[in-house]
Amino acid sequence: MQTTVWRIHVAEPGWEDGEAIREAAALLRNGELVAFPTETVYGLGADATNDDAVGRIFTAKGRPADNPLIVHVADKGQLSAVVAEVSEVARRLIDRFWPGPLTLVLPHRGTVSARVTCGLPTVAVRMPAHPVARALIAAAGVPVAAPSANRSGKPSPTTAAHVLADLAGRIAGVVDGGPTSVGVESTVLDLTTPVPTILRPGGVTQEELAAVVGEVALDPALVREGEVPRSPGIKYTHYAPAGEMTLVAGAPEVAARHIQRLADEAARRGERVGILTTEDGRHRYRGPHVVVACGRRDDLASVAAALYAALRRFDQEGVTRIYAETFPEEGIGAALMNRLRKAAGGRIVSGDLV
């Protein structure tokens, strides 16, 4: 299959009903797969009401069939066509955070394919803030199921080039709207529990949610090892680079000394070593290692935005061993550290012990 790429510049007037959006929307309506930018990561879209179209998502990604998808809507009208009821709490969250990186788990009304929900009584739904995403969904006229547009087990794509690296030839098209801004996936919040529960930390922080709804719980699986996650997809290892990754905790200067030593030792054993740091920290490292600077430490949003591209860089460089600095778990830092822990398969050592 030939994958069409449409480039959209949102600064150029008239793109909303231009040829790119019209062609991409027509493909979606015809049951084909089209990747598109959201403010978090690129999504791989299919008509959520079409069983065959949704089935193609799982095939193209190599995604396990028991991992449900997020349904993307362009407006509140489409929301009521998907969910059974919008509770008072849901309404307050929607008024405050939509469009934006917040996914709500709500009871569905049986209108989307059971392949989207994996047979659950609930559906995860969000209204993305990216203008290209909303224009495309509106033009398609159907709710759009869209997981991240990567092959299963790869980091989520934050550029159209990442999408093509994973899925060229396997999907009908990619709408290229430039790099995404948030860089990590949306927050998934379950509203079917007595207390709203974060299943996946993301672009909207726990602090921000609590300010609107009061108490917000964290899924125990986010806090303790060994708990069975409530969000079906969380049990799978996502975001893993090919090289084995270890997080080195501790203050940046101290962690850097420890990382330098571990890196030098691994290189002597014949490993090709990658180091994940920030622009302000890269001067601390010496030697032949692949040092990737990811944003600035004083701006955790910039680190989150650059994270997945950094992980892909390590793969491109053929790195076999990665050591990464860690970050404070405040605000977007919680989502950032959640993704880093996953990428590291939970391997974390203390840099303070040296």
Binding site for ligand TXA (CB under 6 A): 38, 40-41, 43, 67-70, 101, 103, 105, 117, 120, 122-124, 146-148, 185-186, 188, 199-200, 231-234
Q: Which is nearer to ligand TXA, 49 or 231 (CB)?
A: 231
> Where on the chain is the footprint of Mg ion (CB under 5 A)?
148
- Contact of residue 199 among Mg ion, ligand TXA, none (CB under 5-8 Å per partner type): ligand TXA
Which among ligand TXA, Mg ion, none contacts residue 100 (Cβ within 5 to 8 A by kind)?
none
State the nearest-atom distance from the C-beta of 11 to ligand TXA, in Å: 23
Mapped onto helix, strand or coil, the DSSP state of residue 137 is helix
Bridge partners for 349 per DSSP: 248
**Considering beta carbons, is residue 148 or 158 the nearer one to Mg ion?**
148
Which of Mg ion, ligand TXA, none does 122 bind, CB closer than 5 to 8 A by kind? ligand TXA
Q: Which does 142 bind (CB under 5 to 8 A by kind): ligand TXA, Mg ion, none?
A: none
Q: Cβ-count burial of 158 within 10 angstroms (0-12 exposed, 13-18 middle, 19+ buried)? A: buried
Q: Which is nearer to ligand TXA, 129 or 256 (CB)?
A: 129
* Min separation Cβ 75 and ligand TXA, Å: 16
Q: 209, 179, 203: which is closest to 310 by C-alpha?
A: 179
Nearer to ligand TXA, 29 or 230 (CB): 230
* Residue 201 Cβ vs Mg ion, minimum distance, rounded to whole Å: 14
Q: How far is residue 239's CA from residue 225's CA, in Å, rounded to a whole number?
A: 18
Question: Which among ligand TXA, Mg ion, none contacts residue 146 (Cβ within 5 to 8 A by kind)?
Answer: ligand TXA
Query: What residue 336 binds from ligand TXA, Mg ion, none (CB within 5 to 8 A, per partner kind)?
Result: none
Residue nearest to Mg ion (CB): 148
**Closer residue to ligand TXA in complex, CB, 93/291:** 93
For 72, 82, 99, 312, the CA distances from 192, given in Å and listed in that order, are 19, 15, 21, 36
Partner interacting with residue 180 (select from ligand TXA, Mg ion, none; CB below 5-8 Å by kind): none
Residue 347: closest CA among 225, 218, 185: 225
Residue 1 CB neighbour total at 10 angstroms: 12
Nearest CB to Mg ion, comparing residues 8 and 41: 41
Q: In this structure, which amino acid lies at residue 7?
A: R
Between CA 35 and CA 273 the distance in angstroms is 33
CB of 69 to ligand TXA, least distance (A): 5
The nearer residue to ligand TXA, 5 or 349, going by C-beta atoms, is: 5
Report the nearest approach of ligand TXA to the CB of residue 200 (Å): 5
Which C-beta is closer to Mg ion: that of 25 or that of 240?
240
CB of 65 to ligand TXA, least distance (A): 12
Q: Among ligand TXA, Mg ion, none, what does residue 107 contact (CB within 5–8 Å per kind)? A: none
CA distance 269 to 56: 43
Which residues are paired to 105 by β-bridges?
124, 190
Helix axes 131-140, 19-29, angle to 10 degrees: 50
Alpha carbon distance 277, 291 (integer Å): 7
* 88, 111 contact by CB (below 8 A): no
For residue 348, the minimal CB distance to ligand TXA (Å) is 22
- For the bound state, the minimum distance from the C-beta of residue 74 to Mg ion, rounded and expressed in Å, comes to 21
* CA distances from residue 210 to 105, 177, 215, 284, 328 in whole angstroms, order as listed: 17, 32, 6, 38, 19
Q: How far apart are CA 48 and CA 137, in angstroms?
A: 11
